[in-house]
Structure 1
């Protein structure tokens, strides 16, 4: 039996992974793309707000703030309850939106995106801690490398939406 991953599945999972690394980067990507290239299937749906320029600007400001805030010594752990809830919500929102845009069931996309965000949050946390211990590279530097990965992955996903 061959497992075929649909385009919407790859998008939902990819955006969820990004949300697990940086909560607001994934919503910033989809709101940017859909505000400039609206999808008919999102009109008159709960996801219509994603397609506005205002929403796009808000998510971009939040994403930029998160890139800076992540490096501060008092930044909370991404695996704290609040952080996980936010990451799950961002991944779920993005996954549900791309599934709805593809005329698929948003609940499935939401579960995929949210689950990917939680897995990514823990995976990237352990990777970041391990790299710091193994290499001695300061955490803010590893965080900046993670930012480059997030921005690169987000750019690639945006081109594929």
Structure 2
């Protein structure tokens, strides 16, 4: 059954919003959850693309370890501010990566997905920073403790995002 681009849009757009939001909150979480998803689905849209590496289970494992390490390092007193230009750039690039890979995996434009993912990750970086510092100030609790709650939100959000994903119809093949 053929679908118009309009009916396929949510299958590309909303998952990128989710993965890129995770990337804005924790830069390695978006790619880790996305790679886990792609490794299970092996979408054909990534064949021939450098982004196909995200389909490999070993890459998914490495990204998960990096995401866990980032969650621990984030609580250290010398952790850089997420809105500092180099850190913000990393989060935007992480969002761009997940957006490009997801769109490409669904036979869409990697450029369009990358732009969407980068913008969403940048916005999520500032929004999550404002929430974290605001909650810390209003509740009178250390920022690191609020960060633990943020980690729980990232993990729960990522798990929910994964549960909602299905292989693209007629667009996946085993590795």
TM over 0.5: yes
- With the shorter chain as reference, the TM-score category is over 0.9
**Structure 2 partner of 1:91:** 95
Please give the root-mean-square deviation of Cα atoms over the aligned residues, in Å. Answer: 1.5
3-state secondary structure, aligned to 2:48: coil
Return the match for 1:8 from 8, 12, 15: 12
1:129 and 1:26 mapped to 2: Cα distance?
Answer: 22
**Structure 2 partner of 1:75:** 79
Kindly name which structure, 1 or 2, has the bigger radius of gyration based on alpha carbons: 2
3-state secondary structure, aligned to 1:47: helix
TM-score by length of 1: 0.94
For residues 79-158 of structure 1, what are the structure 2 equivalents within 5 Å? 79-158=83-162
How far is 1:61 from its partner? 1.0
Q: List per-residue Cα deviations over 1:13-47 (Å, max 9, x = no partner).
A: 11111100000001001111212220111111121
1:160 and 1:50 mapped to 2: Cα distance?
Answer: 19
**Structure 1 partner of 2:173:** none
2:116 and 2:146 mapped to 1: Cα distance?
Answer: 27
How far is 1:92 from its partner? 0.6
How far is 1:73 from its partner? 0.4
Please say if 1:38 is aligned against 2:42. Answer: yes
Contact conserved, 1:12 with 1:110, CA < 8 A, in 2? no
